[in-house]
Amino acid sequence: MGRRIKVAVLVVSMATLVAGRSPAADDPAVLKDLTAVIALQGQPCGQVVTATKQGDNDYIAACKDGSRYRVFVNAEGRVVVQKQ
Amino acid sequence: MLESKGPIETVKSGDRAVTIGNCAGAMTVAILALLSQASDGRRETPRPASSAAVAENTRPEPIPAKEVEPRPRPPQLAAPATPRPPTTASKPPAVAAGPPASGQNEPPRAEPVPQQRPPLEKSQAPLASTPPPSTETASPPETAAPQPAKPTAATLDLTTLEQRLRDTKAIGVFTKLSLKNQVDDLLAEFREFHQKRDQTMLARLRQAFDLLVLKVLSLLQDGDPTLARDVSSSREALWNILTDPNKFQNL
């Protein structure tokens, strides 16, 4: 039993490590959405080339010009674009 | 050159031809000299020497052809008009006797005719050209007839616009949420405007409203052009709703 528990804990921890920083935003729709949001907020970006999902409605977007932004929805339901 | 031509004309055409030769011959020689000058620069030196002695009308030898050409034409236009009726009966022998002289005289005669004709054609052309615009202007109303149906169907109120923006797939979730935030901010500003009734805010509100509409249009124009057109056509209606206190309270 103890050995099985150890294996299970190891599997879960590995899964969380791998899934936590997964580049889940390779979807062009997400990249386009992030590009539009950053542009709507008036931030210079050009085009989002890659995005990393941090959580629900929380992304780190890397722009074509090299700038990076964190795009997320705060507790008040507002979309926030933070320059990293 | 001129001396040799002068006797030839007198011998062939007689007294009448000589009188013509004094004027028209000098003119043709001048035209030939000008043409030769324009075509070849080497012959400029010999011809001016001969033509200057005979043709006094060719005084402006160094003067470019532009200044010389208009001078001979008016006399040709005016002269042939009067002499033609009397000379039509008497000239045929002269024309038959001196083919080169008639050949030189005919072109200038032929020139004024086309010069007179083109204005006629030009005068007809505008008449012909004016109808097409009228037909074009007449056709747009025909084509515009189906268009009014779209704007009438496209005048959106705020609730319909909100629902259609929610349903469209042209905008992502983040973008929709961000747009909603900006719309809420703008509505809050309008609420403040109606409370304070400060007309100075109206220009700034209009600017913000136009900017927001432009943002929406830029987001929709590729993915949902129909909705973009509807939003664009109902812009003024939306503005009227927002600026009217009564309508704004009913939102």
pLDDT digits (tens, 9 = 90+) for B41-58: 444 444 444 444 444 444
Asked whether residue A29 is assigned to any structural domain, the reply reads yes
pLDDT digits (tens, 9 = 90+) for B95-139: 333 344 443 444 444 444 444 444 444 334 333 333 444 444 444
**Residue predicted with more confidence, B175 or B106:** B175
Tokens of B199: 């007309």
In this predicted structure, the answer to whether residue A8 has a pLDDT above a threshold of 90 is no
Residue type, position A55, single letter: G
B216 and B165 Cβ atoms separated by less than 8 Å? yes
List A55's β-bridge partners, or say none: A58
Residue type, position B168, single letter: T
Number of domains in chain A: 1
pLDDT digits (tens, 9 = 90+) for B75-96: 444 344 344 444 443 443 333 3
How many CB atoms neighbour CB B111 within 10 A? 13
Residue A51: φ, ψ to 5°: -145, 140
Report chain B residues whose CB lies below 8 A from the CB of A77: 177, 181
Any chain B CB within 8 A of the CB of A1? no
What is d(CA B47, CA B29) in angstroms, rounded to the nearest whole number? 10
Asked whether residue A17 is assigned to any structural domain, the reply reads no
Q: Nearest C-alpha of chain B: how many angstroms from A15?
A: 27
Q: Model confidence at B40, in pLDDT bands (50, 70, 90)?
A: low
Mean pLDDT of the region B143-158: 54
Asked whether residue A65 is assigned to any structural domain, the reply reads yes
B231 and B213 Cβ atoms separated by less than 8 Å? yes
In this predicted structure, the answer to whether residue B161 has a pLDDT above a threshold of 70 is yes
What does pLDDT average to over chain A?
A: 82
**Residue predicted with more confidence, A49 or B15:** A49
**Predicted local distance difference test score (pLDDT) of residue B21:** 52
Mean pLDDT of the region B145-174: 73
Q: Nearest C-alpha of chain A: how many angstroms from B168?
A: 13
Asked whether residue A53 is assigned to any structural domain, the reply reads yes
B191 and B205 Cβ atoms separated by less than 8 Å? no
List A63's β-bridge partners, or say none: A48
What does pLDDT average to over chain B?
A: 63
| B199 CA to centre of own chain | 46
**Predicted local distance difference test score (pLDDT) of residue B185:** 93
How many CB atoms neighbour CB B169 within 10 A? 8
The pTM assigned to this predicted structure is: 0.48
What is d(CA B133, CA B139) in angstroms, rounded to the nearest whole number? 9
pLDDT over 90, % of chain A: 56
Report chain A residues whose CB lies below 8 A from the CB of B179: 40
Q: Where in the sequence is the domain holding A30, given as residue range(s)? A: 23-83
pLDDT over 90, % of chain B: 23
Mean pLDDT of the region A37-45: 92
